[in-house]
Structure 1
Amino acid sequence: MFRRSSGIILHITSLPGDHGIGSLGEEAKEFVKFLVKSGQRLWQILPLGPTGYGDSPYQCFSAFAGNPLLIDIDRLIQRKLISKSDLPKENFDESRVDYGKVINYKYSIFKKAYEKFKKSEGIKSVYNIFCKDNSWWLDDFALFMALKSHFGGKSWLEWEHDIKFRKDDAIRHYKEVLKDEIEFHKFLQFIFFDDWFETKSFANRNGVEIIGDIPIFVAMDSADTWANTDIFLFDENLNPIDVAGVPPDYFSVTGQLWGNPLYDWDKLRKTNYKWWVKRVESSLKMYDYIRIDHFRGFAGYWAVPYGSPNAINGEWRKAYGDELFATIQSEIGSNIKIIAEDLGVITDDVVELRDKYKFPGMKVLQFAFNNWADNEYLPHNYDRNCVVYTGTHDNDTTVGWFSKLSDSDKEYVLKYCGLNTSKEINWGLIKLAISSSAVFSIIPMQDVLGLGSDSRMNTPGVAYGNWSWRMKKDKKTLNKVSERLYDLVRLYSKF
Structure 2
Amino acid sequence: MDRKKHSGILCHITCLPTSYGIGDFGPQAYAFIDDLARAGQTYWQILPIGNTDDSGCPYATDSAFGCADYYVSPDLLIKEYEIDPALYHKFILNTERVDFKRAKENKREALKIAYEKFLPSSSFHQFLKDEKDWVMDYAMFRALGETRGHDFRTWGRPELTSEEQKLMDFHLFCQFSCFSQLSELKKYANSKNVKLVGDLPIFVSYNSMDVWKNPQEFYLNDKLEMEYETGAAPDAFSKTGQKWGTPIYNWKAQKADNFEWWNKRLSFLKRYFDVIRIDHFRGFVATWISKVSAPDASEGQWYEGPGEELFKSLRDCPEIIAEDLGYITPEVEKLRETFNFPSMRVLEFMLGGANNPHRLTNYEFNTVAYTGTHDCDTLMGWYKSLSKEDKQRVEHDLQIERPNHWEMIQVLMSAPSRIVFIQIQDLLGLGSEARFNYPGTVQPKNWSWKLEFKDERRIDWQKLGMITTENDRVERKVVCG
Note if 1:95 corresponds to 2:77: no
Measure how far apart 1:175 and its partner are.
Answer: 6.1
Please give the secondary structure, in 2, of the residue aligned with 1:286.
Answer: coil
Structure 1 residue runs without a partner (length 5+) = 163-169
Contact 1:60 1:222 in 2 (8 A): yes
**Matched residue, 1:445:** 424
Residue-pair matches, total? 472
Among candidates 297, 309, 329, match of residue 347 of structure 1: 329
Q: Which residue of 1 aligns with 2:123?
A: 126
Shift of 1:477: 4.8
Cα distance, 1:116 vs. partner? 2.1
Give the conservation status (yes or no) of the 8 Å contact 1:252–1:461. Answer: no
Contact 2:152 2:207 in 1 (8 A): yes
Amino acid at match of 1:150: T
Q: Which moved more, 1:372-381 or 1:256-265?
A: 372-381
Q: Measure how far apart 1:94 and its partner are.
A: 4.5
Corresponding residue to 1:212 among 187, 191, 198:
198
Moved more, 33-42 or 347-356: 33-42
The yes-or-no answer on 1:263 pairing with 2:264 is no
Instruction: Pick from 274, 278, 284 the counterpart of residue 298 of structure 1.
Output: 284
SS of equivalent to 2:8:
strand
The corresponding residue for 2:408 is: 429
Structure 1 residue ranges (4+ consecutive) displaced by more than 6 angstroms after TM superposition: none
Q: Residue by residue, what CA displacement relative to the aligned partner does 1:213-238 show, whole Å, maximum 9, x if unpaired? A: 10111111111111110010110000
**Kept in 2: contact 1:366–1:390 (CA 8 A):** yes
Secondary structure at the counterpart of residue 19 of structure 2: coil
Establish whether residue 180 from structure 1 lines up as the match of residue 166 from structure 2.
yes
In 1, Cα distance between the equivalents of 2:148 and 2:19?
33
Matching residue of 1:145: 142
1:354-393 residue pairs with structure 2 within 5 A? Answer: 354-370=336-352, 372-393=353-374
The reply on whether 1:43 has 2:44 as its aligned counterpart is yes
2:347 maps to 1:403? no
Maintained 8 Å contact 1:458/1:467: yes
Q: How many angstroms apart in 2 are the aligned matches of 1:194 and 1:368?
A: 41
Pairwise CA RMSD of aligned residues?
A: 1.8
TM alignment of 1:213-292, pairs within 5 A:
213-249=199-235, 251-292=237-278
The residue aligned with 2:477 is: none
Q: Residue 262 and residue 207 in structure 1: after superposition, are their counterparts in 2 closer, same or farther (change >3 A)?
A: same
Quote the residue 2:305 is aligned against: 319
More helix by share: 1
What 5-or-longer segments of structure 2 have no aligned partner?
Answer: 475-481
Contact 1:6–1:440, Cα closer than 8 Å, also in 2? yes
- Closer, same or farther in 2 for the Cα pair 1:250/1:453, shift >3 Å? farther
TM-score normalized by the length of structure 2: 0.94
Q: Tell me the distance in 2 between the aligned counterparts of 1:321 and 1:458.
A: 30
Q: Report if aligned partners of 1:256, 1:460 keep a CA contact under 8 Å in 2.
A: no
Q: Tell me which residue corresponds to 2:437.
A: 458
CA distance in 1, matches of 2:433, 2:132: 42
Q: Deviations over 1:300-357 (max 9, x none)?
A: 11111113333322211111121000111xx237xx5111000011011101100011
**1:24 — aligned with what?**
25
Q: Distance in 1 between matches of 2:165 and 2:373?
A: 42
Distance 2:433 2:36 in 1: 24
Q: Sort the Cα spacing of 1:493 and 1:250 in 2 relative to 1 into closer, same or farther, 3 A.
A: farther
**Aligned residue for 2:113?**
112
* Alpha-carbon spacing, 1:199–1:253, altered in 2? closer, same or farther (3 Å): farther
- Give the CA deviation at 1:135: 2.2
Residue number in structure 2 paired with 1:468: 448
For residues 361 and 462 of structure 2, the distance between their equivalents in structure 1, rounded to whole angstroms, comes to 26
- Note if contact 2:378-2:425 (Cα within 8 Å) is conserved in structure 1: yes
Change (3 A) 1:309 1:82: farther
Superposed CA offset, 1:222-255 (max 9, x none): 1111111001011000001211111234654433
2:55, 2:100 within 8 Å by CA — same for their partners in 1?
no
CA distance 1:200–1:478, shift in 2 (3 Å): farther
**Greater shift in the superposed pair: 175-184 or 207-216:** 175-184
Give 1:166's aligned residue: none
Amino acid aligned to 1:156:
F
Q: TM-score, normalised by structure 1?
A: 0.91
User: 2:54–2:101: 8 Å Cα contact kept in structure 1?
Assistant: no
Partner-residue secondary structure (3-state), 1:22: coil
